[in-house]
Every structure is written in C-alpha cells, then in structure tokens.
Structure 1
Amino acid sequence: MTDLLLLPGDGIGPEVTAQARRVAEAVAPDLSIAEALFGGCSFDARGTPLTDEVLAASQAARAVLMGAVGGPRWDGKTPRDRRPEAGLLNLRAGMKVYANLRPALCFPALADASSLKRHVVEGLDLMIVRELTGGIYFGSPRFIEDLPGGGKRAVDTQVYTTAEIERVARVAFQLARGRRNLVHSAEKSNVMDSGLLWRQVVTDLHAREFPDVRLEHILADNAAMQIVRDPRQFDVL
C-alpha cells in the first residue's frame, strides 16, 4: 500500500509537492511515496484530468497530497467535463472528502504583515470547515440553453441532503470540543431553502449529540463582514 500519493498537478503544484516530498523523506524515510499525473498535465497526456487508475490509487493510498490544478493554458479551450477543475471535483467525490479544513492562524511575528491592523488579527486561531462534495458544485440539473427569443439561460442547482449536512457539521462540533467549544454555522436561510434545511439540520444535530458545544447561527454575508471586522470572535466556522 502507498503511504503517500503525490498529485503535483499544474502551475506551482510540482514545485510545492517536490519540497513536501523532501520533508516527508527526511522525517519519515520509511514512507512509501508514489506520484501520478493529475489535472491539466493529465489531460494533455491522457485526455482526462483524472484517470480511473489515478482515482483508484488515490482511494487505496493512506494519504494524498495534491499540488494545484488548472491555468490559462486550459481556460476556454478544454471541454468543461475535462477541464483540470473537473478532475479536482471528481477526486473529491471519489475519495468522499466532504470536510475541507481551512485553519487561519496569526503568528505574532507576522501580525504587522496583515492587511488588517495588529489589534484585530493578533492571536487569531480560526478553523473554517467547508462542505466539499454537496451543494452547487455537485447539484443537478446544470446546463446552458438557448432561449427562443435569443440569448441564453444558465442553470446551476444547489442541493443538500440531511446526511451531507450532518456529517460535515459533526466534524465542526467535534473540532470545537478540542478548541474553544464554539461553532458558528453559516448559511443563507433567509432566502434559500437549502440554507433553511442546513440551519434546521445543524440545530437538530446540536441538540441530539453536542449540547455541550455553543452553537451560533450566522448568515453567510454577515459572516464575511464579521471575519474582517473581528475574526477572533470565531472558533470553528
């Protein structure tokens, strides 16, 4: 079994993953490390951004490290279902990696390097948990069609199920238990039915399994403003 599968991809990806490999080999020389084509370079060589063989290798590996996908070379010139980004979405779905963890930390020595003032960001320790395999990226139908009177119409569908919401919310609550015990759940329940379901499911899950964790609901646009105004108020978002 491969311990670490590297998918360097495009752009800066190969440069970044090459250095990650140097570190991995230095600190864990017994690791089994493999590498495979992914993204635009895979499309150029294989006609698809993610081959069945690479997806199977990713599913079998203990860990996968991806570099980057896409670039101007493929923009507007490659069918949408074979663009580098399509490979990324298919990799997420195939590996069932539904919870994207995005930590935001401010190290004291870098506080003055932020575009926000030091007193706003100093000591920041925020964990953003992003749902990754549901929602508008994966919903159907999706299409662009010609209108009878001229022009076009584009449709993307936002879809979430109870199970999809519960599993990513569960990750957020579990993380909060090891941090400051606070979760903010961000959605658009004021104007979107998918946001309303999100709020209902998160509320029910919290009551059943995580009553010890403090839960706050926040609209997504307000969350964006609050992150800039006072990011330290958040623990897990």
Structure 2
Amino acid sequence: MKVCVLPGDGIGPEIVGEAVRVLEALRADGLKIEMENALLGGCAVDATGEPYPAATQKLAREADAVLLGAVGGPKWDSLPRPQRPERGLLGIRKDLNLFANLRPAVVYPELAGASTLKPEVVAGLDILIVRELTGDIYFGEPRGIEERNGERVGFNTMIYSESEIVRIGRVAFEAARKRNRRVCSVDKMNVLETTQLWRDVMIELAKEYPDVELSHMLVDNAAMQLVKAPKQFDVVVTGNIFGDILSDEASMLTGSIGMLPSASLDDSNKGMFEPIHGSAPDIAGKGVANPLATILSAAMMLRYSFGDEQSAARVEQAVRSVLASGLRTGDIWQEGAKRVGTREMGDAVLAAL
C-alpha cells in the first residue's frame, strides 16, 4: 500500500513524525506499506507558490491513502485567497473526491475528568459524526466580495444536490448498522431551503434502512444537546459547515481536540486521514504537541483504506495502554499524571505496541 505523507505546517511535522514511526514499527512486523512525503499548505506555498502543487497532486492521486498533519498559520493569512494554505486542503479534498468525513468523538475512561463537562455527562461517550465534505457553502458558486450600491458585499452559496445528500446519507446509515443503529440528521430546515431538501432526502433514504432509527434535529438545538446530553447520540450526519462546527464542539467533550482523529473517504474507501485540530503555530517546534490524534488517524487509515482491522486495533490498544499508564501531554494533563512531550508520547506508544 502506498501512502502519501503530508506533514504540513506548524506542529504538523512533529505529530506526523510520531505516526510515521508507528507505521514503520508495523512495517517491521510485516505490514506492506510504502510512504513518500510531499508538500501541502503553507510549506508548499513557500516552496512552489501553490498550496497544492502539481507534484503533490500526482503523488496523492497515485497513493492508496494520504496521511496529513495540519496546514495554515498567521504567516500566510495576508496572501491572496487562492494562495492560502487552507485552499490546498479544500483542493485535495475536492481533487480526490473525499466526500465523507468521519469524526469519532470517544471519551477514554482515563480522560473523563479532562473534559470541561462533569465526568458523569461524558463518561462512556462514543459518537460518530459523519460530515459531508465536498459540497455546501464551502464550495458553492457564486461566491465573492464585490461592490454594490457603494459598499462592499460578501456572498456565498449554500447548495446541495439530491445525489450528494443520498451518498453521504448511505455512509451514515451503513456506519450506524455497525454501531447502535441510530442516525440523527442535523439541518436547519425551518430557515434554509437547502436543508429542507436535506431532510426530505434523508427521510426517503431511511426507507432502505428499516433496521436503523432516523431522527432529526435543528443545528442550534444539536449544538445545545451535545453539551447537555451528548450520550443520546450515536451517528450524527450533517452538511459541511454544520459538521465542521459540531465536530469541533464534540471534540471538547473528550477533553482535548488533540485526541480526535478523522477519515475523509471517497466511494472506494481511498482516504485522507488527519487529526481534526489545526497547526497550532504557537507551540510549533517546542516538542509539546499531542501526537495521539494523528496516531489514531493512522489507525483509521489501516482500518478503512487498508482493510487491516488487526493492525488498527493494535495501534488503538497501544494508545489506551499509554493513557492507562498515566502519561499525558499538556493538553490532557491532570493532577497526578505524568506530563510528557511529543517524542516521549510517541516512544510510549511504540513500547506499548
């Protein structure tokens, strides 16, 4: 299996480096995997002038999977929008047709106290957010900033086709069949016609999955319920912008955004795997970033793109063992635990593996 490795910007190279060490250890045990690095984001802009250069496109298209760190930072915020690092991220998602974003929010028993919510509210939490990733207001046209009646006006288009809704809905229903058979579809149908269509299509699609319970929730209520009673959810399916916001909110239920992996898949399970957090330029180069979300993203890669459940489970169990031993990076540290850095956490996962 060929993996395109994109360390990216900020803490990206540090956290990806630890995930690569885990994959190299598995390779020494017989995992057939090849890895090759390429540039994406701000580092690509600095080297080539483009956030998603042609050489990266070629490697990503030829690979069986992509492992990504994070992109962006204040250094590039003043660039023209087409050159900003985030355009590279949107570009590779669109180029590889990665329409299904899977973001699990799991509270490990040892980290229940790290959440800002009461432990009894989050203990045992296991939510899967399925976010549509290549449509919605992030990609809709027309878009821009122009002058109207003597003042500047910004505009974006929220748009979904029936086929886009059906294919992400199928991902959610199929995922629910492997979990607790419940799907909550999140929309804003009381205001937005786009999401009225979303709800209508989900209701029609649910007839093909009589074994899965479908419910609906408006996005503002969903945001509230995630904080009030998060364990009511099993699989949550929603559009691009709502999913972006809700999955970040869900991440904080777990104690740290540094613990959450993600998978972005096409219709053949080729995917890009990345932690959901950003490039954290304020701590870049200090050796304190939490690599566990990236390591867990590599486990998702083994499961979804490689079909290697055994190796994925090994990695996840290693992470659980390390947490059970009391090691913590700063973002998940609590009184009584041992604070470690990025490299030490990677060493501990390798030892547990």
Band the TM-score falls in, shorter-chain normalisation: over 0.9
The residue that corresponds to 2:174 in the other structure is 174
The residue that corresponds to 1:212 in the other structure is 211
Which letter maps to 1:12?
Answer: I
The residue that corresponds to 1:201 in the other structure is 201
Which letter maps to 1:93?
Answer: K
Rounded Cα–Cα distance in structure 1 between residues aligned with 2:72 and 2:158: 24
The residue that corresponds to 2:117 in the other structure is 116
* Residue 145, structure 1, aligned to residue 146, structure 2: yes
Rounded Cα–Cα distance in structure 2 between residues aligned with 1:72 and 1:171: 35
The residue that corresponds to 1:106 in the other structure is 107
The residue that corresponds to 1:38 in the other structure is 40
How far did residue 189 of structure 1 move?
0.5
**Per the alignment, in what secondary structure is the counterpart of residue 157 of structure 1?**
coil
Rounded Cα–Cα distance in structure 1 between residues aligned with 2:178 and 2:187: 24
Q: Deviations over 1:104-151 (max 9, x none)?
A: 111111111110001100110100011100000000000101123x32
Larger RCO (alpha carbons 8 Å, 6+ apart): 2
How far did residue 82 of structure 1 move?
1.4
**Per the alignment, in what secondary structure is the counterpart of residue 65 of structure 1?**
strand
Which letter maps to 1:122?
Answer: A
Q: Normalised by the size of structure 1, how large is the TM-score?
A: 0.96
Rounded Cα–Cα distance in structure 2 between residues aligned with 1:217 and 1:28: 44
**Per the alignment, in what secondary structure is the counterpart of residue 232 of structure 1?**
helix
The residue that corresponds to 1:52 in the other structure is 54
Rounded Cα–Cα distance in structure 2 between residues aligned with 1:66 and 1:56: 16
The residue that corresponds to 2:159 in the other structure is 159
Rounded Cα–Cα distance in structure 2 between residues aligned with 1:44 and 1:69: 13
The residue that corresponds to 2:25 in the other structure is 26
Q: Which runs of 5+ in 2 are unaligned?
A: 237-353
Which letter maps to 1:3?
Answer: K
How far did residue 79 of structure 1 move?
0.9
**Per the alignment, in what secondary structure is the counterpart of residue 28 of structure 1?**
helix
Rounded Cα–Cα distance in structure 1 between residues aligned with 2:57 and 2:203: 35
**Per the alignment, in what secondary structure is the counterpart of residue 102 of structure 1?**
strand
How far did residue 54 of structure 1 move?
1.0
The residue that corresponds to 2:2 in the other structure is 3
Rounded Cα–Cα distance in structure 1 between residues aligned with 2:137 and 2:177: 29
Which letter maps to 1:11?
Answer: G
The residue that corresponds to 2:72 in the other structure is 70
Rounded Cα–Cα distance in structure 1 between residues aligned with 2:54 and 2:232: 44
How far did residue 60 of structure 1 move?
1.4
Rounded Cα–Cα distance in structure 2 between residues aligned with 1:199 and 1:98: 18
Q: Normalised by the size of structure 2, how large is the TM-score?
A: 0.65
Q: How many residues align?
A: 233
Taking only the aligned residue pairs, the percentage that are identical comes to 51
Q: Which runs of 5+ in 1 are unaligned?
A: none
> Where do 4+ consecutive residues of structure 1 move more than 6 Å?
none
How far did residue 165 of structure 1 move?
0.6
